[in-house]
Amino acid sequence: MKSVDIVIIGSGLAALSLADRLSNDKNVIVLTKGKKYNSNSVRAQGGVAASMSEQDDWENHFRDTMVAGCNVNNHEAVELMVRQGPGFITKWIEEGLGFDRDRFGKILLGKEGAHGKRRILHAGGDATGNVVMEFLMNRLQGKVTIVESEMVLDLIVEEGNCCGVITSNDQNRISTFHANHVILATGGCGGLYEVTSNDETVTGDGIALAYRAGAKMVDLEFVQFHPTMLNTTSDISHGLISEAVRGEGAILITEKGKRVMKDIHPLEDLAPRDIVARVIQSEINNGNKVYLDISMIDNFETKFPTITSICQHATIDVKAKLLPVAPGAHFLMGGIKTNLSGLTTVKGLYAIGEVACTGVHGANRLASNSLLEGIVFSNMLANYLLNLKEETTLPLVSLRATGSVRFKVDQLPTKAEIRRLMTAYVGIERTEQGLVHAKQWIEQFELNSNQKLDITKISKQDVEKINMLTTCKLIIKSALERTESRGAHYRNDFPVADNEWINKQIIRQRSIMRDKQKVKTEVVK
């Protein structure tokens, strides 16, 4: 058994940013089930949203975040994020983080869906996540141990306190890590769907671990589908075509040249993601192909090197100026319920980043607010942990895994079957009938309620499937409970929740955009 102050599970931006803040004062270990670069943060193309230009302020960013989130966001969390974000970013810039600049050295700001202003900082063109993560990895060098290929099977909770984790490595060796604080930063659940922008390791593990430990979940029905994943005839998820491409003027058309977002929403191709994703999906369901027309973007390959390389891998020629697209699972707005400092409802257990739900994203996340969330809320948790009074190490009683597994381990479905189910019945559009079918399908793999299995006796591959099934079940339950259509949760059998406030804000946003139409690129000092 190893003993540390703090165990962080996951190696994305929220995890490493927290480790960075704690590393001088605490004994921290980072555990990741894949390699350290396996995270959604590394894949982030668009960038980081922050009101850093003179034409912008936190209130504008606040309003855009609320409109995209359908006004069900936690106001306090949004205000905290958009007010504190620019300060943290400025600090990182001063410490050497290289965002893209114009030839006069001013930081370039891009535009993405549902933003009324240009406020997206980006790096390496469309390699923002990669650049930010490299910056963080370098800072942690020699200060924090990142253990790769160490999958957390379960959390240890004794007398109501989370005090460690049980893991299994590549050789299936079981280990125990004892810690006063356990942080879940495992990302969302894109891997529950057939097409996703997420890293292959992101399969809802954090949600399932927290659930087995007794933590409360919230808003799990809100799963965001990114409108523009590169779409080819193969089943493989090739990767994302960033919204920044539409921010630079690209438009969505069918193979017959019809503009798919015209007259659908005042912001047209830059409407909130849930709306654009549904429109594209409905064109596809009607037998049409949808393309991003990039013919108006000069120097596409230089501006978007990552996307160019994704296209090359998929043998799509960007010179043809038409990129085939379809929606794919992208981001989980709901998650483990936390307060603004990352505390869950289980003592000693914390959550940050996509796996957590402070309510900051409401029903639909605004583009490029996820890296910002990771930066701001990891700092909130760091402040909390660093200000705690001197702690006494909790005594360990039994060191047993918390969770009892309630699935038939010898009869689990394949991952592909789970993904097919979620895509068909719990995807972009849902109905009660479909959700009930999905619920019943999962129930066939469950044990009778009084039967329990020891998780340490189950292979990692099966634990991953059990985590997927657990997370699916929770999403389906929430989706059945929300009997309305709102943001990313669209029920064919219920109308879209009316919201006068949102409509007014969209009209306001449209007039701001019209005023700015001629401005191609804004810069900050």
Active site residues: 273
- For ligand SIN, which residue of 201, 242, 358, 379 counts as binding (CB under 6 A)? 242
Q: Judged by CB, which is closer to ligand SIN: 368, or 471?
A: 368
| End-to-end Cα distance, the chain | 51
| Region of 13-21, 213-221, 366-374, 390-398 interacting with ligand SIN (CB under 6 A) | 366-374
Binding residues among 160-189 for ligand SIN as defined by CB under 6 A: none
Shortest distance in whole angstroms from residue 239 CB to ligand SIN: 11
Which residue has the closest beta carbon to ligand SIN?
A: 46
For residues 343 and 355, which CB has a smaller minimum distance to ligand SIN in the complex? 355
Size of the site for ligand SIN (CB under 6 A): 10
Contact of 189 with 498, CB cutoff 8 Å: no
Helix (H, G, I), strand (E, B) or coil at 145: strand
- Which listed residue (114, 202, 336, 367) binds ligand SIN by CB under 6 A? 367
Q: Does 18 bind ligand SIN (CB under 6 A)?
A: no
Closer residue to ligand SIN in complex, CB, 44/292: 44
C-alpha–C-alpha distance, residues 50 and 108, integer Å: 12
Identity (one letter) of the amino acid at 313?
H
E strand or H helix at 89, and its extent?
helix 75-94
* One residue of 51, 370, 378, 402 binding ligand SIN per CB under 6 A: 370
Residue 226 or 465 having the CB closest to ligand SIN: 226
308 binds ligand SIN, rule: CB under 6 A:
no
In the bound state with ligand SIN, the residue whose beta carbon lies nearer, of 44 and 217, is 44
Name the residue among 267, 229, 225, 201 with its Cα closest to residue 460: 201
Report how many helices (DSSP H) and strands (DSSP E) the chain contains, helices first.
Answer: 15, 20
| Of residues 71, 46, 63, the one with CA closest to residue 123 | 46
- Asked if 45 touches ligand SIN (CB under 6 A), the answer is yes
Q: Is 231 in the site for ligand SIN (CB under 6 A)?
A: no
C-alpha to C-alpha distance for 524 and 47, rounded to whole angstroms: 15
| CA nearest neighbour of 160 among 345, 336, 342 | 345
With respect to ligand SIN, which residue has the nearer C-beta, 116 or 413? 116
Sheet (strand 322-332) strand order? 223-230, 322-332, 290-293, 251-254
Q: Exposed e or buried b for every residue in 461-488, given b needs 16+ CB within 10 A?
A: ebbbbbbbbbbbbbbbebbbebeebbbb
In the complex, the smallest distance separating the C-beta of residue 277 from ligand SIN, rounded to whole angstroms, is 12
Among 56, 79, 150, 243, binds ligand SIN (CB under 6 A): 243
Minimal distance, residue 245 CB to ligand SIN, in Å: 8
Q: How far apart are CA 197 and CA 421, in angstroms?
A: 18
At closest approach, how far in Å is the CB of 69 from ligand SIN? 13
In which element (H, E) is residue 340 found?
none
Please spell the DSSP secondary structure of 429-443, one letter per residue. SB-HHHHHHHHHHHH
Q: Which residues in this chain contact ligand SIN in the complex, by CB under 6 A?
A: 44-46, 240, 242-244, 367-368, 370
